[in-house]
Amino acid sequence: MIEAVGLTKRYGDKTAVHNLSFQVRPGAVTGFLGPNGSGKSTTMRMILGLDEPTSGQVTIGGYPYRKLPNAPRQVGALLDAKAVHGGRSARNHLLCLAQLSGIPDRRVDEVLGVVGLQDVAKKRSKGFSLGMGQRLGIAAALLGDPQVLLFDEPVNGLDPEGILWVRNLMKSLAGEGRTVFVSSHLMSEMALTADHLIVIGRGQLLADMSVKDFISHNSADFARVRTPDTEPQQREKLTAALTEAGGQVLPEQDGALRVTGLPLPRISDLAHDADVRLWELSPHQASLEEAYMRMTQGAVDYRSTIDQRAGLQQQLPPGAMPPPQAMPVPGQGQPGWYAPPPPQQGGHPFAMPQTPAGAPYASGQPGGPYAAGPAAGTNPYAQPPAPAAPAPATPDTTQRDSEDLR
Amino acid sequence: MAGIQVLRSEWTKIRSVSSTVWTLGLAAVVTIALGVLISALSRREFEGLGARDQIAFDPTFVSFAGMSLGQLAMIVFGVLVVSSEYSTGMIRTSLAAVPQRGTFLFGKVAVATLLAFVVGLATSFVAFSLGQAMLGEHAASIGDPGVLRAVIGGGLYMTLIAMFSMGVAAMLRGPLLSLGILMPFFFLISNILGNVSATEKIGRYLPDQAGSKIMQVVTPFGDDTPYGPWGGLGIMVLWVGAALAGGYAVIKKRDA
């Protein structure tokens, strides 16, 4: 069991981790999610006693790592797959780690077999691909047959077969009653591997809940509506009608509309009343990846902007008209275009199971954050919460959606 | 217990990378070859020297002339042993396995020091015997007073240079910065400070100037150095101790 209490790490002015408290329990795979630079690796280093917390503490089995008796036999870690001396062979790399931890030499050949590197054991790790490096790092973590395992981004650079292998390895390690703590920035991967999720952004805890709860609270339903491509005015007509009825409408890249807040039969009725033909009316479920991105949206440090290519354009002579710019795809670049609309002001940006009753989107509300209601009075489109669209809500669908995204 | 594990592991580390063979091999070859060359030249030049210089001629020291260049390879060896942990990121894996950072650092330094001493001592003996062979009738014998001390001292000098570099690399971490400071310091700055009369008195307390005194058998004419051969080596040991203490403080305090 790993336990962090008020863990804080500051580098000068920058706070990498702020007042982080969580527990990682044995017998389960705990996913550790967050955008780049959110403090995942810093937290992992503090767990391993490599970085000293500015305040707070983190313990493994009740001990800070540096005081843990026989630490390398209790805890195994993969921090960085590239952290090997390129001139050393895979076997020698593991051998010096085994000797450092007092592990017998023959264990080295065992773990080489476990990760499938026995054929390249004598090769210098300089020539290894990132995937082979990950396997070598995982081998190093498994050396001491530890009860607590930490993996920082273990599937980076792995091929699909390798990803599946890592996924099954984590599950079987947890199945043996070990504590498995895996960081990733891929929600979709964690939805398949982890039992529990800890999500951080800008060094602060955003969520600490089971994957099951996360799925049931954050997989939002929406309807995709398509009007005849040939008649754009029909699309506008329908958008107006749906908005008036209290739905929220977002255009998609291919001209379809993404509608939330209205059940499918109601959309059909409204279209019929407005005399608009429909080419498509289908129930959909936003993927976990989208829910996760919405959750961490405010906490992303590094965000890309649209490339204007202005630096490449020639200076125009005075009076000349600039060349016509290609129209940007509707919605692209604006935060949240891919996701259902963000909830109203004052609410949490995402659903938490422990949200107190009376707070926005109290649990049990199937519409989750997308049901209008609590903000009534300020929201001009306010309507009593409509029953959710009859979307297939099984986790299998979610998983398929998530995998499609990758 | 942990200490023995660190020593075994560090021995595996040091023998499993080719940079060890290259740097130590280069240190030996350069020291010996340059010593032989300068010894051969000195034999031809000897007749042309003044009477004073002929009396002060130190055949033992002449055969160690290659050390000024060979020590640079020793510096690279010492720096790489420590800084490769940081440049590869291996330090995190190592310190996760051995949370006792002092044990880790000094285990590493001990293994590298022992290896440097074996190579340094062998180099010193070979450089002396080949150098004396070149000097012919001006040669010194290993049985002459002070000569054995100078030859063993040559091995100690190379070892201490490597240790000093390890301490500096543990403080600075990066190989480029460490080499960028140590190389010009030992190759240029120390020589300049030692040969300019204004700074000579400071220069002779620098680690290499003080330490190389152990390899002298005949005191140069008009030399007023206030310490003897062992005193000089003692000054160098103090430098090495300071560098390693600094390295220990850094590895202990700073985040890996």
Q: Report the alpha-carbon distance of residue A283 to residue A289 in Å, rounded.
A: 18
Contact A100 B1 (CB under 8 A): no
Q: How confident is the model at residue A134 (pLDDT cuts 50, 70, 90)?
A: very high
Q: Are residues A84 and A150 in the same domain?
A: yes
Q: Are residues A130 and A190 in the same domain?
A: yes
Q: What is the pLDDT of residue A350?
A: 57
Q: What is the pLDDT of residue A317?
A: 64
Query: Is A160 a domain residue?
Result: yes
Q: Please state the separation of Cα A86 from the chain's center in Å.
A: 32
Q: Residue A201 is inside which H or E element, if any?
A: strand A196-201
- Across the interface, of A84, A87, A96, the residue whose CB is closest to B18 is A87
Q: Any chain A CB within 8 A of the CB of B13?
A: yes
DSSP secondary structure, A117-165, as one string: -GGGTTSBGGG--HHHHHHHHHHHHHTT--SEEEEESTTTT--HHHHHH
Q: Any chain B CB within 8 A of the CB of A100?
A: yes
Q: Are residues A158 and A237 in the same domain?
A: no
Q: Any chain B CB within 8 A of the CB of A102?
A: yes
Chain A residue with the nearest C-alpha to that of B83: A85
Q: How many Cβ pairs closer than 8 A exist between chain A and B?
A: 89
Q: What is the pLDDT of residue B65?
A: 93
Q: Are residues A170 and A263 in the same domain?
A: no
Q: Report the alpha-carbon distance of residue A259 to residue A341 in Å, rounded.
A: 10
Residue type at A24 in one-letter notation: V
User: Which of the listed residues A248, A266, A285 is the one where a domain comes to its end?
Assistant: A285
User: Which of the listed residues A202, A231, A260 is the one where a domain comes to its end?
Assistant: A202
Q: Find the mean pLDDT for residues A83-90.
A: 92
Query: Is A344 a domain residue?
Result: no
Contact A100 B5 (CB under 8 A): yes
Query: Is A350 a domain residue?
Result: no
- Across the interface, of A80, A85, A101, the residue whose CB is closest to B84 is A85
Interface of A with B in 126-155 (CB under 8 A): 140
Does A375 have pLDDT greater than 60?
no
- Across the interface, of A51, A77, A79, the residue whose CB is closest to B255 is A51
Q: Report the alpha-carbon distance of residue A264 to residue A386 in Å, rounded.
A: 11
Mutate to test the interface with A, among B12, B87, B94 (most CBs of A within 10 A): B12
> What is the b/e burial string over A151-169, where b = at least 16 CB atoms within 10 angstroms of the residue's CB?
bbbbbebbeeebbebbbeb
Mutate to test the interface with A, among B6, B10, B16 (most CBs of A within 10 A): B16
Nearest chain B Cα distance for residue A389, angstroms: 51
Query: Is A48 a domain residue?
Result: yes
Q: Find the mean pLDDT for residues A364-376.
A: 40
A33's CB contacts (< 8 A; 6+ apart) are A40, A183, A184, A185, A187, A190, A197, A198, A199, A200, A292, A296
Q: What is the CATH number of the domain that holds A262?
A: 3.30.70.100
Q: Are residues A224 and A196 in the same domain?
A: no
Q: Report the alpha-carbon distance of residue A96 to residue A334 in Å, rounded.
A: 51
Does A340 have pLDDT greater than 80?
no
Range in A8-12, A91-95, A220-224 the model is least confident about: A220-224
Q: What is the pLDDT of residue A315?
A: 65
Q: What is the CATH number of the domain that holds A8?
A: 3.40.50.300
DSSP secondary structure, B92-157, as one string: HHHHHH---HHHHHHHHHHHHHHHHHHHHHHHHHHHHHHHHHHHGGG---TTSTTHHHHHHHHHHH
Q: Report the alpha-carbon distance of residue A303 to residue A352 in Å, rounded.
A: 25
Range in A92-96, A312-316, B98-102 the model is least confident about: A312-316
- Interface predicted TM-score (ipTM): 0.89
Per the DSSP assignment, residues forming a β-bridge with B38 are: none
Domain that holds residue A233: 220-285
**Does A177 or A188 have the greater pLDDT score?**
A177
Q: What is the pLDDT of residue B220?
A: 80
Query: Is A52 a domain residue?
Result: yes
Chain B residue with the nearest C-alpha to that of A47: B96
Helix (H, G, I), strand (E, B) or coil at B23: helix
As given in the structure block, the two tokens for residue B227 are: 């310490």
Q: Are residues A46 and A163 in the same domain?
A: yes
Query: Is A243 a domain residue?
Result: yes
CA distances from A180 to A76, A149, B223 (A): 10, 5, 69
Q: Are residues A160 and A40 in the same domain?
A: yes
CB A125 within 8 A of CB A81: no
CB A256 within 8 A of CB A330: no
Could you state, in chain order, the average pLDDT of each consecutive group of 10 residues for chain B (256 residues)?
89 93 96 95 87 87 93 96 93 92 95 97 96 90 92 96 97 93 89 83 89 90 85 96 96 88
Q: Are residues A257 and A144 in the same domain?
A: no
Q: Are residues A198 and A225 in the same domain?
A: no
Does A355 have pLDDT greater than 60?
no
Q: Are residues A276 and A178 in the same domain?
A: no
Q: Residue B187 is inside which H or E element, if any?
A: none
Nearest chain B Cα distance for residue A57, angstroms: 15
Cβ-Cβ contacts under 8 Å, A52 against chain B: 255
Q: Find the mean pLDDT for residues A11-24.
A: 92
Q: What is the pLDDT of residue A138?
A: 95
Cβ-Cβ contacts under 8 Å, A99 against chain B: 5, 8-9, 12
Q: Any chain B CB within 8 A of the CB of A88?
A: yes
Q: Are residues A233 and A194 in the same domain?
A: no
Overall domain count for chain A: 2
Q: What global pTM score does this model have?
A: 0.77
Nearest chain B Cα distance for residue A383, angstroms: 55
Mutate to test the interface with A, among B83, B84, B88, B91 (most CBs of A within 10 A): B88
Phi, psi of B144 (to 5 degrees): -65, 150
Q: Are residues A101 and A172 in the same domain?
A: yes
